[in-house]
Structure 1
Amino acid sequence: MAEISVIIPTFNRAGRIEKAVESVLAQDYKDFELIVVDDGSEDDTLEILKNYPEVRVLPQERQGVSAARNHGVNAGAGALIAFLDSDDLWLPSKLRVQAEFFNTNPDVLICQTGETWIRRGKRVNPRNRHEKPSGQVFERSLDLCLVSPSAVMMRRSLFEAMGGFDESLPACEDYDLWLRIGCRHPVHLIDEPLVIKHGGHEDQLSAMPGLDRHRIASLVKLLENEPLTASQRAAAAAVLLKKCRIYANGCAKRNRMEEAEFYRALALRYENEPPQNQAKKENNPP
């Protein structure tokens, strides 16, 4: 039984999947299984994957990246789980460095590595606001997702306890999971750029319009369902209010008035929440 289950979700990535797979197979740490979940590709992705008999390929009807990742995890057996997006690459020492970190720190549940960013074929330097924290990441990650799927490794027990990725979210599913984890547990950073993260291409989920709508949905879930501390709750509510107002203003400019009113009302709902209700929810987590 492999120690690490590596999960690659993919959809119509015939031009990229080969390099992603080969970056995993080139790891200098070999105690892993590689599972690629094809989420209903209509190009040559599945044909290309036939060239890799050592890779377990799981085709499924189009269900989205959350379902694909969850399917891969459920099919695997490793006590540790690592994800790689099919447009990203790993350096050869990525799995070894993280496996050693877990072995040295048996109480750690999740960690991530640094990244090198490539945008439209050129290396770019992340801005200061993209700098990854280590440890308590929750409040800093509310405005901007600071945990990357391709850089994460976590214990299977944590993934299962959190219920995996939310399959109702077509995007920002990683933002949602990292916040649900981050409000409970530290996310440790191994500050080495062991992932090559590619961006700027049109088929990225992060290029979808209206992404804040999904982040808002995630924040509402947090406020309603998660055992937030008082400071976490205040921070999440503040970001929710800001995102609701920005999104509502954008809807109004596009004459989507009913949608704008919905998000304005949602902002008011949390802005006017009585302090005693906040304390009650904190003291009686679901």
Structure 2
Amino acid sequence: MSTRTPPDPAGTDPVDPDLSVIISTYARPVQVREAIAAVVGQDHPGAIETLVVWDKNEPEWELASDDPHRPVRILFNDHGNGLPGSRNCGAEAATAPVLGFCDDDDLWLPAKARRQLALLKDTGADCSTTGLEVLIDGNVIPRRGTDGILRYADLLRSRRMEAYMGTAVVRAEAFWNEIGPLDEHIPGGYAEDYDWMLRATRHQPVVVDPEPLLRMRWIVQSHFRDQWPDWEAALGQVLERNPEFSSEPRGRARIEGQIAIAIAAQGRRKDALRQVRTTLGWSWKEPRAVLALAVAAGVPAEKLSAALNKRGRGL
């Protein structure tokens, strides 16, 4: 399947973009149009190119635009493994020195590009993130980010909301070299944001604009049973790659607890109880140990996940 977009009509002069924004999409035709419009509507005075990467289904080629100030290019994900592959596919085709990322259910608020590009320029940092808004059932829940910088140790202690690819802008050189692209081999494409953010903060502290500059339209959905093994494996890989979690018991317990829930959701009750003991060995205060026990006792994990999603939280 071709990944080319039609050539620009004669008479248009391309402008070197300051920023390339990669929008990953799958089967959300309404939301992706809104996500594109939000990037095109940024108040940054320089040029911004948008690369929309379709995953698994036929791209809507007609959404391409040759506007030299806000060009939109349409691609098909030829990298595989869902979201990580589609993000890398777009990044590979990008032409700007700075990359940004957006899912089709997210909206960049108007000042996002301008403020983050200025933050990178002023600090010399390679990566920046921001606070965000979570939109659930018509309710907007603001989540301010850290005021200043986000360090590797911060992400070992807790899963920070601003450590999300949809809020990130990163210098392309660092993305491909010191930090590295998204892991296309992580099981099921799960925890790919967290894995990448851990690498980004290990490279150097990430500068944060605490203001909510992204609206996350949280679409409440359940995990299907056949996804839990991938979640278990992906989280295990995160722990294996970051042995420093052992120096942060609360952070280690959080991930061990998530693994316990994934095991319990697969119906492996004895293994789940052992994993709960491991979780509590790191921190007896970890609430996911209780959730894992509830799932092991028969409460559907999908029901717990959906209830937390409605409150802007995850397992």
Q: TM-score range by the shorter chain?
A: 0.7 to 0.9
Equivalenced residue count is: 252
TM-score using structure 1 length: 0.75
TM-score normalised by L of structure 2? 0.69
Structure of higher RCO (CA pairs closer than 8 Å, 6+ residues apart): 1
For 1:197, which of 179, 203, 216 is the aligned residue?
Answer: 216
User: Cα deviations across residues 183-215 of structure 1 (Å, max 9, x unaligned)?
Assistant: 23111111222211111332899xx65745422
Relative to structure 1, the CA distance from residue 249 to residue 52 in structure 2 (aligned partners, 3 Å threshold; closer, same or farther) is closer
Aligned partners of 1:260 and 1:245: how far apart in 2?
10
Worse-superposed segment, 156-165 or 141-150:
141-150
Residue aligning to 1:66:
84
- Residue 109 (structure 1) shift: 1.1
Match of 2:192 among 173, 187, 194: 173
Distance in 1, matches of 2:23 and 2:88, equals 11
- Any idea what the Cα deviations from partners look like across 1:209-257, whole Å, max 9, x if unmatched? 574542231121122xxxx6xxx6512x763455336634763586426
The match for 1:221 among 222, 238, 241 is 241
Amino acid at match of 1:65: L
Tell me the equivalent position of 1:87.
105
- Distance in 2 (CA, whole Å) between partners of 1:247 and 1:141 is 18
Whole-angstrom distance in 1 between the partners of 2:241 and 2:17: 35
Distance 1:69 1:209, change over 3 A: same
- The answer as to whether partners of 2:127 and 2:168 remain within 8 angstroms in 1 is yes
Cα distance change, pair 178–253 in 1 and its aligned pair in 2 (3 A): closer
Distance (whole Å) between structure 2 residues aligned to residue 245 and residue 201 of structure 1? 21
CA distance in 1, matches of 2:212, 2:223: 21
Which residue does the alignment assign to 1:160? 176
Is it true that 1:4 corresponds to 2:16 in the alignment?
no
Q: Give 2:83's aligned amino acid.
A: V
| 1:185 paired to 2:191 | no
Say if 1:175 and 1:215, in contact at 8 Å, map to a contact too.
no
Is the contact made by 1:120 and 1:201 (CA closer than 8 Å) also made in structure 2? no
Aligned to 1:277: none
Q: 1:53 is aligned with what amino acid? A: S
Letter in 1 for 2:196: L
Residue 185 of structure 2 aligns to a residue in which SS?
A: coil
Please state how far the C-alpha of 1:177 moved relative to its aligned partner: 0.5
Counterpart in 1 of 2:31? 16
- Change in 2 beyond 3 A, CA 1:204/1:17: farther
| 1:141 Cα deviation after fit | 2.1
The separation in 2 between residues aligned to 1:151 and 1:247, in whole angstroms, is: 26
- Structure 2 unaligned blocks of 5 or more: 1-15, 67-71, 283-315
The one of 247, 260, 272 equivalent to 2:259 is 247
In the alignment, is residue 139 of structure 1 matched against residue 153 of structure 2?
Answer: yes
| SS class of match (1:22) | helix
Q: Secondary structure at the match of 2:128?
A: strand
Quickly say closer, same or farther: Cα 1:204–1:36, change in 2 above 3 A: farther
1:26–1:139: structure 2 CA closer, same or farther, 3 Å change rule? same
**Contact 1:136/1:185, CA 8 A, preserved across alignment:** no
Query: What SS is found at the alignment partner of 1:197?
Result: strand
CA contact (8 A) 2:145 2:210 kept: no
Give identity over the alignment, percent.
Answer: 24
Structural mapping, 1:101-116, within 5 Å: 101-105=119-123, 107-116=124-133
- The answer to whether the 8 A contact 1:180-1:222 is kept is no
Q: Distance in 2 between matches of 1:65 and 1:154?
A: 17
Deviation at 1:117, TM superposition (A): 1.6
Q: Give the counterpart letter for 1:247 in structure 2.
A: I
Counterpart Cα distance in 2 of 1:98 and 1:252: 41
Three-state SS of the structure 1 residue aligned to 2:213 is strand
Aligned to 1:78: 96
| Counterparts of 1:171 and 1:148, CA distance in 2 | 13
Q: Is the 8 A contact 1:212 1:243 kept in 2?
A: no
Judging changes above 3 Å, is the alpha-carbon distance between structure 1 residues 233 and 79 closer, same or farther for their aligned structure 2 residues? farther
